[in-house]
Amino acid sequence: MVEQLSPLGSAWKPGRHNVVAAAPGVTLSETKPGSIVQVAAWPGEEKSVIDAIRSVTGLKLPDGAGGGIATEHKAAFGFAPGKFLVVTQIEGIEAELLKAIPVTFGTVTGLSHGRTALRVAGPKAEWVLAKLYPIDFALPAFPLHAGRSTTHHDVFTQIQRTGADSFDLYVFRSFARSFWTTLGHAAEEVGYEVR
């Protein structure tokens, strides 16, 4: 398969920016997963869809919106009632989910070519993201592997906490470059490294 070009283009500037101390407050990167798939359950079919996601991915996805699970190579999380994002390094997970989730249970939509996956990690990750989004990023309010959907101005974002100080953000490819620039501006105060 042909490698997909990053939509960040000229906005991608590897290295350290505004780092005065020994370490940057955050690290910014693009993760480039193999598959990003959105699954939506029809009302009353949420449990069937969650079971299908569990079966296909092998992940122990908890019930309900906001719950999630992640490993090094795959993740799944609920971001709204009956709606889930499944992300893997393996291409083709969409076809497996389509087989496991009949149209009577819900819908499966491949988003791999329509989304960009970004990671914000480091001791100041919560602080930087709180500058952009009106949600509480503290660990008790946003637990490990949990997911949220929100917007920064008109940029819709699905966010998953992937570590104690690490978050993966999924944004529309068409907004990725301008959002990346905004993310860099938000991180200037604490210093950031692009990897």
- What pLDDT was estimated at residue 65? 65
Checking if the pLDDT of 21 tops 70, the result is no
Q: Where are the domains positioned within the chain? A: 14-32+113-194, 35-110
- pLDDT category at 136 given cuts 50, 70, 90 is very high
pLDDT in tens, 167-190: 999 999 999 999 999 999 999 999
CA dihedral 189, 193, 153, 35 (to 10 degrees): -160
Checking if the pLDDT of 1 tops 60, the result is no
pLDDT in tens, 35-49: 999 999 999 999 999
Task: Check if the beta carbon of residue 103 is closer than 8 Å to that of residue 40.
Answer: no
Cα separation, 166 vs 109, whole angstroms: 26
CB atoms within 10 A of CB 146: 20
What's the whole-number average pLDDT of the chain?
92
Q: Which residue has the tokens 């946003």?
A: 142
**Which of these ranges, 54-68, 123-137, 141-155, has the smallest mean pLDDT?**
54-68
CATH code of 14-32+113-194, in short, is 3.30.1360.120
- Among residues 123, 157, 150, 118, the alpha carbon closest in space to that of 134 is found at 150
Q: Say what percent of the chain tops pLDDT 70.
A: 96
Of the options 3.40.640.10, 1.10.490.10, 3.90.1720.10, 3.30.70.1520, the CATH number for the domain spanning 35-110: 3.30.70.1520
